């Protein structure tokens, strides 16, 4: 095994590949990530791939051997290009696996082969539905679609995604509540094992390569896997002003770029660092956005850039830095076909789905997904090289929320400078109660008010706003903060059911 494969099969998550996912309430996913110590960390969340696949034509108790076209890492550290798909919801390495319709914990732990079990149970695709597979740039996806349980008309729709980086995602859409089944990953051959409650994720099993949960009434039902939180919290995180590279908004202060120390060291080891709106060749732009701690459902990055010279023809964007490598990189010539020859002074702007990033040939279904990487890192690092200026970046994230969370109460904020009045836009506020806007300082601080899905960290102050119109100018004058700090805002109101919270909005103050 070469060094690259050794790192991918033993270290923490690098980068995964998924396609655009269904709406958050339509499925539940769990992602198993190598923890770097021989075990796994399990995260709730992931992206169901609702794309075309090759029907394997499977019957009852059958297997099919398929090739991923790239090395696949199994829980015991072994690497295979071919895998065996068992119609009964298992995936095995190589071509020697057989179908087993009766799930058992002993068979999972002590079997002679490692296995991935999105739903090991007695299934019968010969009676209906299909088992299909799809190969993307960095993952192989196996989907059981409307497959009935043996001897039953109850249907099961679920999916396994095996990523090049060693992570595995299981997603569930519909499950038979009467199934006896096992879900998990196993190194086999009696390796250390841990029975866990998957719905209690996130958790890690250090040095334990077999992680599983058995299901079967009356103790528990496989449909527990469908009990994931369906509502989302929305967060907007902005750095830099959307001000046409400083030409339309005289703010009187530099829009300082704020890469974390590891990213800054990487930058300055190559070229000088660049701030927002800064012109001049041979400089690298870097910015680090700290993320909320809840599992990420979706994320979108908006960025506007301007090539500064013909030398920018080879410039690129990189995202997600682990201290040595980036999880994703793409040439601007891939994002923008006419790069760098646009209209003079007119920026190039991109809106990037971080669960479906453009591949080497542009945006295609099944492009790289760095959401698991972001959940592991807790930050998004952005790098732009090296003859390209950056106007602003905006990250919009949806994270899991408690049941009953109201998601249509919206708060937006215009760009502001220190010593200015911040201007807020409020939409869909409850008509029965007042609206209070809470303000916190420094996104990197610990969360503020306990027990809330969304709340500005390091709570500073609050004030009443007028929810009757679309705009409300606050009495809050933005104070000075040390460089690379930010303000977070959130609106709260009351209705008959209690508190109602808006999205959060975080903006660096310059």
Question: Is the pLDDT at 97 greater than 50, yes or no?
Answer: yes
How far is the C-alpha of 8 from the C-alpha of 6, rounded, in Å?
6
Structure tokens at 149: 């349980």
Q: What pLDDT shows up at residue 20?
A: 27
Say how many C-beta atoms besides its own lie within 10 A of residue 227's C-beta: 11
Shared domain check, 497 and 380? no
Using the predicted structure, report yes or no on whether residue 495 has a pLDDT greater than 90: no
Question: How far is Cα 36 from Cα 363, in angstroms, rounded to an integer?
Answer: 31
Q: Which of 373, 398, 423 is the last residue of a domain?
A: 398
> Do 203 and 237 belong to one domain?
no
- If residue 110 lies in a helix (H) or strand (E), which one and from where to where? helix 105-110
Q: How confident is the model at residue 485 (pLDDT cuts 50, 70, 90)?
A: confident
Query: Do 391 and 479 fall into the same domain?
Result: no
Distance, in Å, from the CA atom of 43 to the CA atom of 376, rounded to the nearest integer, reads 9
Domain boundary among 226, 242, 265: 226
Looking at 169-183, 199-213, 238-252, 458-472, which range is the least confident one? Answer: 458-472
The domain of 270 spans: 233-398
Tokens of 253: 């202060």
φ and ψ of 375, to 5 deg: -65, -30
Longest dimension (CA), the chain: 73
Question: Does residue 361 share a domain with residue 293?
Answer: yes
List 304's β-bridge partners, or say none.
Answer: 349, 392
Same domain as 423, residue 324 = no
Q: Pick from 63, 55, 9: which is nearest to 36 by CA?
A: 9
Q: What CA–CA distance (Å, rounded) separates 402 from 398?
A: 13
Instruction: Report the pLDDT value the prediction gives residue 479, as an integer from 0 to 100.
Output: 62
pTM (2 d.p.): 0.56
Instruction: Please choose, from the candidates 233, 301, 238, 298, the residue with its C-alpha nearest in 3D space to the C-alpha of residue 455.
Output: 233
Q: Which residue intervals of 457-500 are DSSP H helices?
A: none
- Are 254 and 358 contained in the same domain? yes
Q: Of 104-113, 185-194, 411-420, 445-454, give the lowest mean pLDDT range.
A: 445-454
* pLDDT average, residue stretch 482-488: 76
**Residue 70's pLDDT band (cuts 50, 70, 90):** confident
User: Strand order in 435-441's β-sheet?
Assistant: 348-353, 296-307, 388-400, 232-239, 498-508, 486-495, 435-441, 459-465
Measured CA distances, 417 to 249, 341, 479 (Å): 10, 33, 9
Quick one: pLDDT at residue 443?
Answer: 38
Q: Which two tokens stand for residue 194?
A: 């841990």
Q: Kindly state whether residues 370 and 471 are assigned to the same domain.
A: no
Q: Is pLDDT of 31 > 50? A: yes
With CA atoms as reference, report the closest residue to 115 among 144, 150, 158, 86. Answer: 86
Sheet with 273-274, edge to edge strand ranges: 273-274, 284-290, 379-385, 316-321, 326-331
Q: 140 with 96, same domain?
A: yes
Distance CA 417, CA 510 (A): 6
Q: Are 48 and 173 in contact (CB under 8 A)?
A: yes
- Nearest alpha-carbon partner for 171 in 162, 180, 94, 138: 162
Check which CATH number belongs to the domain holding 433 and give it: 2.60.40.10
Share of the chain above pLDDT 70, in %: 75
- Quick check: 99 and 121 in contact, CB under 8 A? no
For 269-279, write each residue's pLDDT tens digit.
Answer: 999 999 999 88
DSSP code of residue 107 = H
Same domain, 98 and 141: yes
The overall average pLDDT reported for the chain is: 78
Of 96, 30, 108, 3, the C-alpha closest to 295 is 30
> Averaged over 493-504, what is the pLDDT?
68
Structurally, how many domains does the chain consist of?
A: 3
Distance CA 362, CA 50 (A): 19
User: What pLDDT, on the 0 to 100 scale, is given for residue 405?
Assistant: 55
Report which listed range, 64-73, 428-437, 461-470, 482-491, is most confident: 64-73
Mean pLDDT value of segment 278-288: 91
pLDDT reading at 144 higher than 90: yes
pLDDT per position as a tens digit, 222-263: 667 776 545 677 888 999 888 888 755 545 567 889 999 999
Band (163; pLDDT cuts 50, 70, 90): confident
Report the distance separating Cα 171 and Cα 51, nearest Å.
Answer: 14
Cα radius of gyration (the chain): 25
- Domain of 250: which CATH number? 2.60.120
Planar angle of CA 437, 443, 444, nearest 5 degrees: 155
Q: Does residue 23 share a domain with residue 172?
A: yes
Pick the last residue of a domain from 343, 373, 398. Answer: 398
Q: Does 306 have pLDDT greater than 80?
A: yes
- Least confident range from 212-221, 292-301, 358-367: namely 358-367
- Give the C-alpha separation, 504 to 144, whole Å: 38
**One domain for residues 64 and 166:** yes
pLDDT at 419: 54
What single-letter DSSP state applies at residue 478? P
Q: What is the pLDDT of residue 19?
A: 25
Q: What Å distances lie between residue 192 and 40, 108, 167, 170, CA to CA?
A: 12, 12, 19, 21
Identify the CA nearest to 329 among candidates 303, 349, 359, 351.
359
Mean pLDDT of the region 204-223: 81
Helix (H, G, I), strand (E, B) or coil at 265: helix
Of the pLDDT bands very low, low, confident and very high (cuts 50, 70, 90), residue 11 is very low
Q: Is residue 220 domain-shared with residue 350, that is, in the same domain?
A: no
User: Residue 3 above 60 pLDDT?
Assistant: no
Region label for 382, one of left (φ > 0), alpha (ψ between -120 and 50) or beta (otherwise): beta
């Amino acid at each position: 095994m070469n060094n690259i494969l050794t790192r991918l099969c033993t270290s923490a998550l690098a980068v995964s590949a998924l396609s655009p996912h269904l709406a958050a309430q339509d499925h539940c996913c769990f992602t198993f990530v190598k923890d770097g110590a021989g075990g796994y960390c399990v995260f709730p969340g992931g992206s169901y791939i609702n794309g075309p696949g090759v029907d394997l034509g499977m019957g009852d108790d059958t297997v099919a051997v398929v090739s991923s076209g790239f090395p696949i890492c199994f829980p015991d550290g072994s690497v295979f290009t071919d895998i065996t798909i068992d119609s009964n919801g298992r995936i095995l390495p190589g071509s020697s696996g057989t179908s087993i319709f009766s799930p058992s914990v002993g068979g999972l732990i002590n079997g002679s082969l490692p296995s991935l079990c999105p739903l090991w149970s007695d299934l019968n695709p010969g009676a209906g539905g299909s088992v299909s597979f799809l190969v993307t740039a960095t993952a192989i996806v196996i989907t059981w679609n409307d497959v009935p349980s043996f001897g039953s008309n109850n249907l099961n729709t679920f999916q396994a995604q095996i990523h090049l980086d060693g992570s595995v995602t299981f997603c569930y859409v519909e499950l038979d509540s009467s199934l006896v089944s096992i879900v998990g990953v196993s190194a086999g051959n009696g390796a250390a094992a841990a029975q866990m409650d998957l719905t209690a994720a996130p958790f890690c099993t250090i040095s334990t390569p077999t992680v599983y949960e058995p299901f079967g009434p009356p103790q528990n039902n496989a449909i527990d896997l469908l009990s994931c939180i369906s509502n989302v919290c929305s967060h907007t995180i902005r750095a830099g002003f959307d001000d046409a590279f400083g030409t339309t908004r005289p703010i009187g202060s530099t829009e300082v770029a704020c890469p974390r120390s590891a990213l800054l060291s990487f930058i300055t080891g190559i070229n000088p660092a660049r701030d927002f709106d800064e012109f001049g060749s041979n400089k690298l732009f870097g910015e680090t956005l700290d993320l909320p701690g809840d599992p990420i459902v979706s994320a979108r990055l908006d960025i506007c850039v301007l090539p500064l010279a013909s030398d920018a023809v080879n410039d690129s964007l990189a995202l997600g830095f682990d201290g040595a490598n980036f999880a994703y990189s793409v040439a601007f010539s891939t994002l923008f076909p006419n790069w760098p020859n646009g209209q003079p002074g007119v920026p190039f702007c991109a809106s990037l789905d971080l669960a479906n990033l453009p591949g080497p040939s542009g945006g295609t279904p099944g492009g790289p997904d760095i959401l698991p990487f972001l959940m592991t890192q807790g930050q998004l690092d952005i790098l732009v090289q090296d003859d390209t200026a950056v106007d602003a970046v905006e990250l919009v994230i949806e994270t899991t929320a408690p049941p009953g969370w109201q998601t249509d109460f919206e708060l937006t904020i215009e760009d502001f400078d220190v010593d200015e009045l911040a201007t807020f836009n409020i939409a869909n506020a409850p008509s029965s109660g007042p609206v209070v806007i809470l303000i916190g300082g420094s996104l990197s601080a610990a969360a503020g008010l306990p027990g809330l899905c969304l709340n500005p960290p390091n709570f500073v102050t609050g004030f009443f706003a007028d929810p009757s119109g679309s705009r409300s100018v606050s009495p809050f004058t933005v104070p000075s903060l040390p460089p690379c700090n930010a303000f977070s805002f959130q609106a709260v109101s009351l209705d008959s059911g209690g508190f109602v919270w808006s999205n959060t909005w975080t903006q660096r103050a310059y």
